[in-house]
């Protein structure tokens, strides 16, 4: 313990001199105030006053008390126990369930005699409280290593003891995790490394989304160990009914067989299927002999109406280009005197052919009011003024009495959707189309994919253009004779890919709907029992600014009709909800909120799949545990040898207690005893003076 000051120590003699001078003035010579005092009493009072004044002057130098303490920090050991399901899905499960927890507790107690010990259980999550169950649904070494790296790495970490079967199915390979500082691992291999008799559904490959009334493939991988010469049946079930089956025979001791099925999507909705492989005698476990998978069958085929004023070969060419797309359902209608105007809101897109006549003004108005995307197709027989009524962003200057033959050329600056360069070259070599001779000019809301080319001269006048803004998308294609494009495309290339892609890309762009809703709910439509179900929500005011003042509630209902209500938490300027892991099945949700007098609601469907990840591999991987120990300078033992670890660790000379020195500075003036010292000295001097007749 030392005393230091903020100012030079040369001030201390000055403090002594001033204190001595002050005491000498009072008690050095006999005067009126001390003439009744004896000589010895004056010396005593001189000393009291000197000590008091010096101490006060010394405190003005702001002295600090420097204290140095030493602390012995024992090495810290992390005991990490794997509590995932794979630990008990092997031939050594009895030992692991009944004896391994006791041996782990004994190891922890033995280490605590010489070291500090922290206990962690890991798998799908981190737990610091001991449990006897092995129910964590997957194994993630990376999560454990992140915890060690973030919480313990900068202390006197002697090492980490990991008790595991070495099987992981989430996160990074533990051998390649980068710690901020080296960590020594002592690993304990638990489980059975012997290949046991087992048949398992290893993997199911399928499309997550298929279309209604289509056929979709499902490929099943079946792994077998020690089943050479035996046969099994792989079946697919739906609602307890067997749909398909296939027999397989295993030729080798260890083998992976693939079986392919074709299933029919005969009903819209999310469909649950189960793959099962027959149980063979004396298998290690039967849990991995089946697996569920889900397929969403959607019937959201876009309905496209091809609406014409009269029969025209261009209508047929457009129809053939679109009707072969499985997600499109095309319908051709002609407007005659006996035809009722269709309800345009039933369609995702309307392609209107040659409605440039006064008698179709009402149809054009209905199309605009329906807010349905429209691809306008006009030719040289259409009234130029009527074209301007349908497409105000297209300015046409001319009388329309003469026609002109033009070719199409791709506009290199077009960026609304991608179009293959080779297709553009094909289109530019196709026969010309016929359109009215006039000047065509676009406003800023339309951009051209194809421009007119007269001979070898490429102009900036549009041939096919599309809107970039507005309440709904629309496009316009000018000219007649596009059926010849399709014919010559086939004659020249042997296919109609260039023409068809031009029409299909045009339709796809116009039917793409931007999400302009002010209340949105984000979620994964398909998840598994191994991970939490999470939702996000966004709410916008009328200026499309994100807000989260009102509450957002959600009701989740399972297939049995059971409901549960939850309220979203606020996260920044958005909302979030962590529902946690859920039972397998299909669920409906309804999210609600209100902003002033406005009510908002979103509904949806999601599925939770029962994927038993831990049963996919049951043979313990001691090689990984050995490599983890060897690469870090630690040692590997089996679970039956783990009582040797305390002795092995004690022989490691590099694991030592660290002596840490801490320096502390504190203000001397904060010492409480100084107050009582001053009070005592001043009181004693005052009392003595009064008692002996001084003043």
Q: Is-contact 510 591, C-beta < 8 A?
A: no
Arithmetic mean of pLDDT over the chain: 87
Please report the pLDDT score of residue 67 as a whole number.
Answer: 81
Q: What is the mean pLDDT of residues 459-470?
A: 85
DSSP 301: P
Share of the chain above pLDDT 70, in %: 97
Please report the pLDDT score of residue 38 as a whole number.
Answer: 75
Q: What is the mean pLDDT of residues 499-526?
A: 86
Instruction: Provide CATH code, domain 519-609.
Output: 2.60.40.1220
Q: Where are the domains of the chain?
A: 2-69+665-691, 75-192+619-656, 198-298, 302-511, 519-609
- Say whether pLDDT at 232 is over 80: yes
| Rounded Cα distance, 395 and 548, in Å | 45
Please report the pLDDT score of residue 242 as a whole number.
Answer: 92
If one counts every other C-beta atom within 10 angstroms of the C-beta of residue 694, the result is: 18
- Range scoring the smallest mean pLDDT among 34-38, 84-88, 210-214, 441-445: 34-38
Please report the pLDDT score of residue 415 as a whole number.
Answer: 84
Structural fold of domain 198-298 = Immunoglobulin-like (2.60.40)
Q: For 82-132, how does the pLDDT look when each residue is reduced to its tens digit (9 = 90+)?
A: 998 888 888 788 898 999 999 999 999 999 999 999 999 999 889 988 888
Q: Would you put residue 288 in left (φ > 0), alpha (ψ -120 to 50) or beta?
A: alpha
Q: For 140-166, how does the pLDDT look when each residue is reduced to its tens digit (9 = 90+)?
A: 999 999 999 999 998 889 999 999 999
Q: Is-contact 87 124, C-beta < 8 A?
A: no
- Say whether pLDDT at 338 is over 60: no
HEC secondary structure over 407-445: EEEECCCCCCCCCCHHHHHHHHCCCCEEEECCEEEECCC
- Say whether pLDDT at 615 is over 80: no
- Range scoring the smallest mean pLDDT among 317-331, 372-386, 569-583, 601-615: 601-615
Same-fold call for 75-192+619-656 versus 302-511:
yes
- Say whether pLDDT at 689 is over 80: no
Instruction: Provide CATH code, domain 302-511.
Output: 3.40.50.880
* Class of domain 75-192+619-656 as given by CATH: alpha beta
Total-model pTM: 0.55
Cβ burial of 47 (10 Å; 0-12, 13-18, 19+) is: middle
> Angle formed by the axes of helices 482-493 and 421-428, to 10°?
110
């Amino acid at each position: 313990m030392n005393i230091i000051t903020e100012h030079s120590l040369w001030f201390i003699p000055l403090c002594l001199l001033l204190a001595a001078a002050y005491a000498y003035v009072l008690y050095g010579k006999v005067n009126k105030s001390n003439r009744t005092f004896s000589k010895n009493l004056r010396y005593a009072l001189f000393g009291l006053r000197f000590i008091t004044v010096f101490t006060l002057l010394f405190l003005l130098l702001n002295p600090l008390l420097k204290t140095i303490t030493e602390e012995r920090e024992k090495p810290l050991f992390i005991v990490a126990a794997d509590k995932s399901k794979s630990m008990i899905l092997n031939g050594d499960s009895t030992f692991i369930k009944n004896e391994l927890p006791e041996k782990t507790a004994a190891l922890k107690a033995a280490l605590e005699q010489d070291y500090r010990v922290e206990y962690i259980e890991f798998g799908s999550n981190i737990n610091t409280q001991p449990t006897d169950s092995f129910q964590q649904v997957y194994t993630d070494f990376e999560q454990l290593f992140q915890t060690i790296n973030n919480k313990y790495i900068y202390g006197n970490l002697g090492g980490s003891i990991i008790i595991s079967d070495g099987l992981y199915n989430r996160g990074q390979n533990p051998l390649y995790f980068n710690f901020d500082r080296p960590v020594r691992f002592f690993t304990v291999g638990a489980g059975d490394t012997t290949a046991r008799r087992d048949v398992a559904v290893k993997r199911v490959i399928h499309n997550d989304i298929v279309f209604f009334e289509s056929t979709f493939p499902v490929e099943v991988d079946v792994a077998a160990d020690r089943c050479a010469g035996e046969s099994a049946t792989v079946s697919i079930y739906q609602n307890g009914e067997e749909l398909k089956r296939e027999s397989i025979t295993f030729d080798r001791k260890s083998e992976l067989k693939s079986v392919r099925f074709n299933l029919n999507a005969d009903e819209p909705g999310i469909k649950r299927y189960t793959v099962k492989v027959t149980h063979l005698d004396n298998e290690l476990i039967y849990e991995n002999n089946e697996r569920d998978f889900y397929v969403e069958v959607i019937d959201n085929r876009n309905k496209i109406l091809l609406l014409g004023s009269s029969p025209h070969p261009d209508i047929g060419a457009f129809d053939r280009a679109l009707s072969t797309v499985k997600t499109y359902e095309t319908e051709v209608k002609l407007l005659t005197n006996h035809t009722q105007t269709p309800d345009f809101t039933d369609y995702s897109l309307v392609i209107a052919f040659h409605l440039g006549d006064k008698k179709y003004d009402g149809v054009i108005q209905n199309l605009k009011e329906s807010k349905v995307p429209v691809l306008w197709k006009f030719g040289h027989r259409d009234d130029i003024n009527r074209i301007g009524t349908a497409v105000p962003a297209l300015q046409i200057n001319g009388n329309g009495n003469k026609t002109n033959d033009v070719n199409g050329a791709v506009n290199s600056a077009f960026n609304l959707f991608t179009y293959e360069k080779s297709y553009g070259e094909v289109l530019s070599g196709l026969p010309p189309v016929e359109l009215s001779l006039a000047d065509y000019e676009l406003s800023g809301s339309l951009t051209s994919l194809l421009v007119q080319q007269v001979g070898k001269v490429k102009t900036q006048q549009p041939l096919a253009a599309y809107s970039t803004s507005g309440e709904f998308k629309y496009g316009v294609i000018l000219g007649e004779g596009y059926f010849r494009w399709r014919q010559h495309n086939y004659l020249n290339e042997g296919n109609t890919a260039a023409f068809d892609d031009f029409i299909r890309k045009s339709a796809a762009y116009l039917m793409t709907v931007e999400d302009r809703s002010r209340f949105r709910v984000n979620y994964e439509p398909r998840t598994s029992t191994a991970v939490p179900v999470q939702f996000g929500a966004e709410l916008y005011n009328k200026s499309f600014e994100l807000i989260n003042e009102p509450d957002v509630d959600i009701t989740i209902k399972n297939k049995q009709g059971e409901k549960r209500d939850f309220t979203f938490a606020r996260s920044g300027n958005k909302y979030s909800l962590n529902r946690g892991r859920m039972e397998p099945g299909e669920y409906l949700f309804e999210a609600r909120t209100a902003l002033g007098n406005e009510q908002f609601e979103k509904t949806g469907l999601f599925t939770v799949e029962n994927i038993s990840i831990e049963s996919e591999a049951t043979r313990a991987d001691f090689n990984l545990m050995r490599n983890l120990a060897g690469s870090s300078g630690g040692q590997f033992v089996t679970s039956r040898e783990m009582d040797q670890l305390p002795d092995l660790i004690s022989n490691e000379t590099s694991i030592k207690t660290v002596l840490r020195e801490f320096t502390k500075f504190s203000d001397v003036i904060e010492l409480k005893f100084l107050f009582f010292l001053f009070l005592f000295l001043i009181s004693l001097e005052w009392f003595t003076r009064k008692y002996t007749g001084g003043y």
